[in-house]
Amino acid sequence: MQNEQHGKTSTYYAYTTKFDRVVNASELDTVLGPLSAKDEEKLNEAWGELQTGLLPWKTKLHVASNQLAERIRTQISREQREDTVVSLLFDQSGSMRGQKMLFSAATADLTQEFLATLGIGCEVLGFTTSQWRGGRSRKRWKWRFKPKNPGRLNDLLHIIYRDADDNRACTGGWVYRQMLRADLPKENIDGEAIEWAESRLRNIARKRKILIVLSDGAPVDDSTLNENGAHYLSDHLRDVVDSLICKKEIEVSAFGIGFAPHSFYPAVRYVEAPSELGIELLKFMTDLLIGNEKSHLQTDASDQR
């Protein structure tokens, strides 16, 4: 990726990276601004639903997680578990609003506890854009008289909900409240988000590294696609995944929410209903950890096309 390049040397690049941001979840106000009174009310309602409305769901998930944890302990030694890290990368695009984001936040909270009690490192990340319709990147491009094929044309927003160095089994879930902000979901540029998650994993001092991309659809950013072609983002996503597979340093997989993931991922699983996310993600993760994921796939994504 190159900054404001017009004589490109690779298939994919960004017009500018000047307006991209990486922030901790607690710092989202610095990018999105403070919530309006209406959005604050919506956030409080969603948080209340997560804290109390999902209690029966959480109870069932805790019971299931105990059984799955025991299965992992019997097949993976303590030393191996402590040398493993799992990164969960959540799509936070507009189509994830509502129940998908609610159950994603609840699942992220319970999953970090599940992994931490096993001694497995856990990182939770999110990706979207800070604005609609290209944001400041597109404005800059327009000021430069709209050069053709400008590359990625929006302002990335990458969010850290849990750092892999955080060893707490339970954080109280407060940080995941930020996932429920009404002003957060916008566009999803998956390829660059995966590259970001990969770069973070490379700096973690654990031998085994697993990256799970959770999404409800293909990458979409109208500003970029309108100027570069309909397959610009999806082609880059495939190139990034293929590169990870070839390097064999990070185990990459995909989990779809109401969407069958692309078949070029080595391992995939998906659920139709957001409420199924918690238990099925833990089952999928268990299969990945013990090396048995292929025989437990619900449906091969290639059969859904």
pLDDT in tens, 97-115: 999 999 999 999 999 999 9
pLDDT in tens, 259-289: 999 999 999 999 999 999 999 999 999 999 9
Cα angle value 129/131/132 (rounded, 5°): 100
Is the CB of residue 189 less than 8 Å from the CB of residue 235? no
Is the CB of residue 270 less than 8 Å from the CB of residue 261? yes
pLDDT, residue 170, reads: 67
Provide the whole-model pTM: 0.92
Cα 188 to Cα 32: distance, rounded to the nearest angstrom? 16
**Domains observed in the chain:** 21-304 (3.40.50.410)
Q: Who contacts 86 (Cβ-Cβ below 8 Å, separation ≥6)?
A: 115, 120, 121, 122, 123, 210, 211, 212, 285, 289
One DSSP character per residue, 117-170 reads: HTT-EEEEEEEEESSSTTHHHHHHHHHTT--SS--B-S-EEEEEEE-TT---S-
Going by the DSSP 8-state scheme, the letter that residue 250 receives in this structure is S
Q: What is the mean pLDDT of residues 291-299?
A: 50
Q: What is the mean pLDDT of residues 79-101?
A: 97
Report the relative pairing of strands 208-215 and 121-129 from DSSP bridges.
Answer: unpaired
Residue 7 confidence (pLDDT) above 70: no
Residue 5 confidence (pLDDT) above 90: no
Residue 166: pLDDT band with limits 50, 70, 90: confident
Distance of CA 257 to CAs 22, 100, 220, Å? Answer: 25, 7, 16
Q: What is the mean pLDDT of residues 162-175?
A: 79
Question: Across-strand partners of 257?
Answer: 271
pLDDT, residue 300, reads: 39
Cα angle value 101/106/111 (rounded, 5°): 120
Residue 173: pLDDT band with limits 50, 70, 90: confident
Residue 185 confidence (pLDDT) above 80: yes
pLDDT, residue 287, reads: 97
Cα 117 to Cα 84: distance, rounded to the nearest angstrom? 13
Is the CB of residue 23 less than 8 Å from the CB of residue 34? no
Cα 189 to Cα 95: distance, rounded to the nearest angstrom? 13
Which comes out higher in pLDDT, residue 166 or 209?
209
One DSSP character per residue, 219-246 reads: -B-HHHHHHH-TTHHHHHHHHHHHHHHH
